[in-house]
Amino acid sequence: MKKSLIALAVLATAGLGFSGVAAAQSSVTLYGVADAGIGKAKSAGDDRVHMLSSSMMNNGTSRLGVRGVEDLGSGLKVGFNFEQGLSLNDGRGNLSGGNTWSRAANVWIGGDWGTFKMGRTLNPSFFGVAAWELTGTANYSVVGNTYNFADSGARNSSQFSYKTPNFNGLSAELGYIFKSDNVIGGVEREKWDANVVYANGPIAAGLSVNKTKDFKTHYSLGGKYNFGQFAVAASYSDTGETNLRRRGFSLGGSFNTGPFTATLDLTRDTKNDVGPKKYTNGLLEGKYALSKRTFVYAAYLRFDGENNYGIGMRHNF
């Protein structure tokens, strides 16, 4: 939903210094998510029942973002996206990376030839998994938590990326990070991150592949099929740390009837050098839509031997 005047007012009030630039955009959108509930995220160190916001057991991280697009003509467009996570517990920000706009801070240019983007953004491996993951990549996603989006996490900083146009449901994206922008353990390491996604009709599939120099290649391959009120999904992931590997598969399904959706998703390690043993993890989720923008949810996540649960409400605006 376009809220150009509101977005400009927010930026001006915040004194961010680029409201004049935003005013030159063809369109500016203010958007966000408010998500809060009650529960326990033991796997994240929360061993007591309390209010949950932007936690492992929320459906999503509460956030406030602004994006803009300018039409340059001849099919060419340029845009930007800034997004900050926040907690509804106390208003604390700087989530999903530790900096003010750490959920997104990027600029892009695109046309019929595809899209070129620069900055911090959700990465290709994330989108490759999101194509088929059953919960919509919820914070409590059992696949996301177990295999960490092909071990690339959800975001890359300082990324240059190119995404192809959509060819009848088929697309691909390649991201690259220079070694001087990616210091791990005090060592500069270049990284590339890629996906191939197919989404057309009832079928969705995605391949995520990424590699950091001196580390092994990580990948995840999954697919989903929708038939009527049901959907089934399966995947295989090969992740880990340096020479330590965590491999396994997932299998799950969801059922939808009117405003209610129920999902059961399982992962099983076939190899786990990272942890003490191979785990079978599972998620049971129920969602009830109150409107197109608002839903309530309940989720139970068994993750690496620990029990986590949450009940909450999410509103998108």
* 291's tokens: 């409107």
Please tell me the predicted confidence (pLDDT) of residue 1.
45
Q: For the whole model, what pTM was predicted?
A: 0.91
Q: Please state, in angstroms and rounded to a whole number, the distance separating the CA atoms of residues 133 and 136.
A: 6
Assigned domain for 274 exists: yes
Burial 236-252 (b: 16+ CB within 10 A, else e): ebbbbeeeebbbbbbeb
Task: Please enumerate in sequence order all residues whose Cβ is within 8 A of that of 25, keeping only pairs 6 or more positions apart, or say none.
Answer: 68, 69, 70, 79
* 82's tokens: 């800034």
286: β partners:
262, 298
Assigned domain for 75 exists: no
Q: Please state, in angstroms and rounded to a whole number, the distance separating the CA atoms of residues 60 and 136.
A: 10
Q: How many domains does the chain have?
A: 1
Residue 58's alpha-carbon distances to 37, 73, 193, 250, 298, in angstroms, are: 7, 41, 27, 21, 9
Question: CA 195: distance to chain centroid?
Answer: 14
Assigned domain for 25 exists: no
Closest among 70, 30, 112 to 317, alpha carbons compared: 30
Q: Look up the CATH number of the domain holding residue 195.
A: 2.40.160.10
Alpha-helical regions (H) of 78-200:
124-130, 142-151
- 3-class secondary structure, 168: coil
Please tell me the predicted confidence (pLDDT) of residue 3.
53
Q: What is the pLDDT along the chain (317 residues), one digit of tens a residue?
A: 445 444 544 444 444 444 444 444 589 999 999 999 999 999 999 899 999 999 999 999 999 999 999 999 999 999 999 999 999 999 999 888 888 999 999 999 999 999 999 999 999 999 999 999 999 999 999 999 999 999 999 999 999 999 999 999 999 999 999 999 999 989 999 999 999 999 999 999 999 999 999 999 999 999 999 999 999 999 999 998 777 899 999 999 999 999 999 999 999 999 999 889 999 999 999 999 999 999 999 999 999 999 999 999 999 99
Q: Please state, in angstroms and rounded to a whole number, the distance separating the CA atoms of residues 59 and 120.
A: 22
Q: Please state, in angstroms and rounded to a whole number, the distance separating the CA atoms of residues 291 and 230.
A: 21
* 213's tokens: 């120099």
What is the extent of the structural domain holding 211?
34-52+114-316
* 229's tokens: 């009120």
Assigned domain for 283 exists: yes
Closest among 147, 260, 132 to 203, alpha carbons compared: 132
DSSP, res 19: H
Assigned domain for 136 exists: yes
Q: Give backbone dihedrals phi and psi of 30, rounded to 5 degrees, phi first.
A: -95, 130
Assigned domain for 125 exists: yes
Assigned domain for 105 exists: no
Please tell me the predicted confidence (pLDDT) of residue 84.
97
Q: Please state, in angstroms and rounded to a whole number, the distance separating the CA atoms of residues 35 and 88.
A: 8
Assigned domain for 14 exists: no
Please tell me the predicted confidence (pLDDT) of residue 11.
47
